[in-house]
Structure 1
Amino acid sequence: MRASDADRDRVADALREAYAEGRLDVDEHNERLERAYQAKTLGDLTPLLSDLPQRHLTATPAPMGGAPHPQASMPPDYAPGSKISAIFAEQKRGGRWLVPAQTTAAAVFGSITIDLREAVLTQREIVIIANAVFGSIQIKVPPGVVVHDEGTAVFGSRTGSDRGPVGDVPLGPNAPVVIVRGVALFGEVSVKYPKASKLGKFLGL
């Protein structure tokens, strides 16, 4: 049976929950998430959750004519939004953490680093509102993430958005998306991508 977008999203939610609990490492999570969004049939999705606890299997698609399974719940520390502020200070958010649908960052005469390389995105598309006033905000993204800049710079700079990571594999239609908004007023908002490997540079990727 062909898989729907809702089927793929349910499995992706279960994988994010398993990663947040430490049941999958970052490589396993990324590999399974990519396979989930590329899945064509329900049979392609089932193996992705087969070695996880039974409650994670509630995210698998329901059979035709059967009652729908409940959506996988997010971990208890999930919040619909978060705020990061640095006023004459430095703030860093990194490691394994849950990225809500929207994050607001404000750096006033300070600096903020938002590291998404090991983070769990609670949505395929997230928004980061980055306001830098005489300060700087740097966003670090992992391979395979699309970044769109919808912000404004006034006597400031915004760099690194609206392109794919250097040397990265071609991005699929279901690749995670990070939308960056906000204002750089006498400040800087930048996106940092993974460095291309030596082989990638040699091949011109």
Structure 2
Amino acid sequence: MSALSMPDAGPARGNMVAIMSGVERKGVWSAAAHVNAVAVMGGIDLDFTRCSLSAMETVINVMAIMGGVEITVPLGMTVIVDGVGIMGAFVDNANQRYGPEAPVLRVRGMAIMGGVEVKSSKKQIGG
């Protein structure tokens, strides 16, 4: 199975929690179709460059309170960011849109005195 392929069966939901600590997913890993990411005075680092997806659309619900979430995406993945920063930032630095055949990463949520950043790895899917 190649990176960013849709396996026959994968986790539907996943949770990542960093409270005064950190969570990191890099290299080859599998992402659930729906992910809840909570960073409270901690950090979460997700790199989708070599990730296997469970569905064509992956939704990440983010809550960053005095913490940070950094999401890295490969070229070829559509990114839709819909979040609010309150005394913080919710930023889409990837600005990637592709056709209907491309996998979609939808990031939504809130950053309170914290930050959420989506950025491009500048590598192709699976690279």
Q: Which residue of 1 aligns with 2:48?
A: 116
Q: Does 1:102 align with 2:34?
A: yes
Shift of residue 161 of structure 1?
Answer: 5.3
Q: Does 1:179 align with 2:114?
A: no
The one-letter code of the counterpart of 1:115 is: D
Flag structure 2 segments of 5+ consecutive residues without an equivalent. Answer: none
Q: 1:127 aligns with which of 46, 49, 59?
A: 59
The structure with the larger Rg is 1
Distance 1:73 1:134 in 2: 38
> If the length of structure 1 is used for normalisation, what is the TM-score?
0.55
Q: Which residue of 2 aligns with 1:3?
A: none
Q: Residue 148 and residue 126 in structure 1: after superposition, are their counterparts in 2 closer, same or farther (change >3 A)? A: same
Distance 1:124 1:175 in 2: 8
Shift of residue 162 of structure 1?
Answer: 7.1
Q: Deviations over 1:126-172 (max 9, x none)?
A: 100111000000001011111111221111101125721xxxxx832
Please give the residue correspondences for 1:45-64 in structure 2 after superposition, counting only pairs within 5 Å.
none
The one-letter code of the counterpart of 2:60 is: I
Flag structure 1 segments of 5+ consecutive residues without an equivalent. Answer: 1-17, 20-25, 34-71, 165-169, 197-205
The CA RMSD measured in Å over matched residues stands at 2.2
Which structure's residues are more often helix, by fraction?
A: 1
Q: Which residue of 2 aligns with 1:14?
A: none
Structure 1 consecutive aligned stretches of length 4 or more whose deviation exceeds 4 Å: none
CA contact (8 A) 2:12 2:54 kept: no
Shift of residue 105 of structure 1?
Answer: 0.6
Aligned length: 123
CA contact (8 A) 2:46 2:70 kept: yes
Q: Which has the higher contact order (CA 8 A, sep 6+)?
A: 2
CA contact (8 A) 1:133 1:186 kept: yes
